Structure 1
């Protein structure tokens, strides 16, 4: 009838062999949950026997032999679970005297959770929320969500064949294990597509991993954008000999800011014994010292609770630098390097580093300068290319939010699966054949076995 057809369309039941009753919808209360129950029947004429493989050419070799009642979870309407109470036709083969039950694409074999629910779970796992919350929303168990997570993530594994020309690599904190709880991920630096996630970021593990790729793919990599983590240098040299290293500009500026801030703290602690006012100014205005010198306001005069009269940002910074001459020296060095980096002028950047060798610098600042000397080639490439690790830092931020939503992860494979689903699962892969390719493969093997017999 027309109304049953509309109900099937609304519930996503696309199998033409499922027939709903004339009065299909009833309401039942189970465990203080009100369920919407839809009643129907599954029946068709089978082409062959599922047991012996004999074809049903005359439609008399396989006969109907009763039904089996099955309750299938479909979806939710107005926050109420919808159940399909389906009478599945049982068939009897006259040749082998075996019985089998009618099957439908609506649900997998020996399963009572519909593929609609499983596709919804896969879509929900793309978002930042805990797996327990997904289970509560869809009225399924946590184990069901985990099984769907593992099944959906399996086809998303990297093929270890193709590598893009421009790579972006970084690490993130995953779960506690022998590798120190740090894992490795890399993506295409141009289209920001996540390629794969590796459990261990240690040098020997990464070399073993990348050596799985063909030599042609590894040699086609032109640039690798990374931070200043020294083991990555050996990985790039061994695995991508034709690639140029590009140091992310954000991490260069971060190193300079940390050096300046560490010396500010040292000067602040020394000023605490001499002047309480200078101590408070150095402590409260740390952001002002880290601001680029050429971006300081020199025209807007305002009152400030730490200063008398009207002052500008430039006047406040000049006072802070007047407290300690070495602080002014470090401040000038850091700003000159940041200005050269912003203008992509590596020659000026290198000249400033060379001149810094002529005078004495604080220990941490000198260590930072030596680190920049070590990565000169990568910094030169950072001034030539516009590539950065901004996209991969965004991926890291989402990973942190996923971990935070679930109050941390103990199983690395589950965390990795959530990452792959979030960034590699597309809309076309929500189809039943993509989500349940193992079931389709099993059915194909059974057909080939039946033909062989």
Structure 2
């Protein structure tokens, strides 16, 4: 008796109506996999008939009427799947002359895969691995993993009740059948909690989505951190009228670096046939040219195969800028803007932009400057607040790894459920008796 009690505890069998039989383990080979088989019995005295509902007062209205054997998948021991061959009691109701089978919380009705396996599948789906690999590890089919994914992922979605005061929004490449193949996600900019994933990032769809939230919840949003994608400005204006737009500093620097790098390539191609040595210097030292000017090393002299004698990083940059006067001017403009942004000095940033109107700039650089003029208000807020899109970029990176582990996704709902499980499903949210999960955000909204 003690042995079977300990075995039940180790296997997670909490139903007191299940009794393990003291029969040696059996071994069976199925689909090239060795299975261990335990024997058990499920019996109890029912309180009422499941068919007609009559109450079993004298314990004679419903009698035992044989057993039915059901094989249940439990868990793995020593990398071998364990099966429970359970004899379920059959009952006969004398009032309606119908039979029904004893049930247990170990497994759902008409299922042979235990809830233990299903909870393990849900927890495995949090990690970066393919669903096929999860199925192989737990000796179940791919369809079983997909069913658990759909059942667990659906309750984790937002209930349109709660929005944080500080939002962080971005897009990611999802599946091909989605319009434009780009989807939208947003999270709490303070605690980095993922709120929801939206299928389409287009303006009309986003406005329609956010309008489902209560007016009080939308008006409580104070800031929205985003990149310089123009349709998002209309979404914020229509859905969050009291929110301040914050342009992510990383995207501002990225725009400036791309403009500088584009002009570097142009200058490099112009001198390609004139000076092969200078061409190689501009080609090989692109990272040095994009490095912040105030971070250049001007004290340590080192040898470089592209130069004769000892050189510092500052001396190399001076030589590269001497190859083209316009390159020097663009380099100075980009570094002045980056330095002002680094110091959160919007006045200096704005002054530098205004002074750039006096000079003729390359087309790509001028386009970048005009874009910065368009988003001046958001850039000013970026200098005032410390919020950024760093956390949501990390989410994007994990989504890419999830897609890569499964060699891409064809079903958007499966990818969305996988993302929500990865970020919103925790072990504390499991109910051992059933696979039902409640939304924390809905509770916060209440």
| TM band (smaller chain) | over 0.9
- C-alpha distance in 2 between matches for 1:24 and 1:417: 42
1:201 corresponds in structure 2 to: 201
1:372 corresponds in structure 2 to: 372
Tell me the secondary structure at the aligned position of residue 259 of structure 1. helix
Closer, same or farther: CA 433–379 of 1 in aligned 2, 3 Å: farther
- C-alpha distance in 2 between matches for 1:358 and 1:434: 70
1:398 corresponds in structure 2 to: 398
Q: Is the 8 A contact 2:105 2:434 kept in 1?
A: no
The superposition leaves residues 142-196 of structure 1 with CA deviations (integer Å, 9 ceiling, x where unpaired) of 0000000000011112010111000000000000125110000000000000000
- C-alpha distance in 2 between matches for 1:368 and 1:336: 14
Alignment of 1:167-316 (within 5 A): 167-316=167-316
- C-alpha distance in 1 between matches for 2:166 and 2:358: 38
Alignment of 1:2-21 (within 5 A): 2-21=2-21
- C-alpha distance in 2 between matches for 1:433 and 1:389: 39
Q: Is the 8 A contact 1:62 1:94 kept in 2?
A: yes
User: Offset at 1:434?
Assistant: 5.6
User: Offset at 1:313?
Assistant: 0.7
User: Offset at 1:7?
Assistant: 1.1
- C-alpha distance in 2 between matches for 1:228 and 1:32: 55
The superposition leaves residues 62-115 of structure 1 with CA deviations (integer Å, 9 ceiling, x where unpaired) of 100000000000001111000000000000011111100000000000000000
Q: Is the 8 A contact 2:156 2:437 kept in 1?
A: no
1:73 corresponds in structure 2 to: 73
Tell me the secondary structure at the aligned position of residue 90 of structure 2. strand
User: Offset at 1:25?
Assistant: 1.9
User: Offset at 1:437?
Assistant: 7.0
Q: Is the 8 A contact 2:115 2:434 kept in 1?
A: no
User: Offset at 1:32?
Assistant: 2.1
User: Offset at 1:433?
Assistant: 4.8
- C-alpha distance in 2 between matches for 1:201 and 1:330: 34
Mind listing any 5+ residue stretches in structure 2 that lack a counterpart? 439-446
Tell me the secondary structure at the aligned position of residue 158 of structure 2. coil
1:347 corresponds in structure 2 to: 347
1:137 corresponds in structure 2 to: 137
Q: Is the 8 A contact 1:189 1:387 kept in 2?
A: yes
Q: Is the 8 A contact 1:71 1:83 kept in 2?
A: yes
1:422 corresponds in structure 2 to: 422
User: Offset at 1:26?
Assistant: 1.8
- C-alpha distance in 2 between matches for 1:87 and 1:172: 51
- C-alpha distance in 1 between matches for 2:352 and 2:132: 55
2:444 corresponds in structure 1 to: none
- C-alpha distance in 2 between matches for 1:343 and 1:25: 70
User: Offset at 1:55?
Assistant: 1.0
- C-alpha distance in 2 between matches for 1:133 and 1:178: 26
User: Offset at 1:23?
Assistant: 1.9
- C-alpha distance in 2 between matches for 1:167 and 1:434: 34
- C-alpha distance in 2 between matches for 1:32 and 1:173: 39
TM-score by length of 2: 0.97
1:95 corresponds in structure 2 to: 95
The superposition leaves residues 307-341 of structure 1 with CA deviations (integer Å, 9 ceiling, x where unpaired) of 11111111111111111110000000000000000
- C-alpha distance in 2 between matches for 1:355 and 1:434: 66
- C-alpha distance in 1 between matches for 2:258 and 2:23: 72
Tell me the secondary structure at the aligned position of residue 53 of structure 2. coil
Mind listing any 5+ residue stretches in structure 1 that lack a counterpart? 439-453
1:121 corresponds in structure 2 to: 121
1:446 corresponds in structure 2 to: none
Tell me the secondary structure at the aligned position of residue 147 of structure 2. helix
- C-alpha distance in 2 between matches for 1:218 and 1:29: 59
2:23 corresponds in structure 1 to: 23
Closer, same or farther: CA 103–437 of 1 in aligned 2, 3 Å: farther
TM-score by length of 1: 0.95
User: Offset at 1:28?
Assistant: 1.6
Q: Is the 8 A contact 2:106 2:433 kept in 1?
A: no
- C-alpha distance in 2 between matches for 1:138 and 1:303: 57
- C-alpha distance in 2 between matches for 1:143 and 1:79: 22
- C-alpha distance in 2 between matches for 1:426 and 1:31: 34
Residues paired across the two proteins, number: 438
- C-alpha distance in 1 between matches for 2:437 and 2:91: 26
User: Offset at 1:24?
Assistant: 4.7
Tell me the secondary structure at the aligned position of residue 283 of structure 1. helix
Answering whether residue 333 of structure 2 is matched by residue 333 of structure 1, we say yes
Q: Is the 8 A contact 1:39 1:85 kept in 2?
A: yes
Tell me the secondary structure at the aligned position of residue 170 of structure 2. strand
Q: Is the 8 A contact 1:218 1:240 kept in 2?
A: yes
Tell me the secondary structure at the aligned position of residue 145 of structure 2. helix
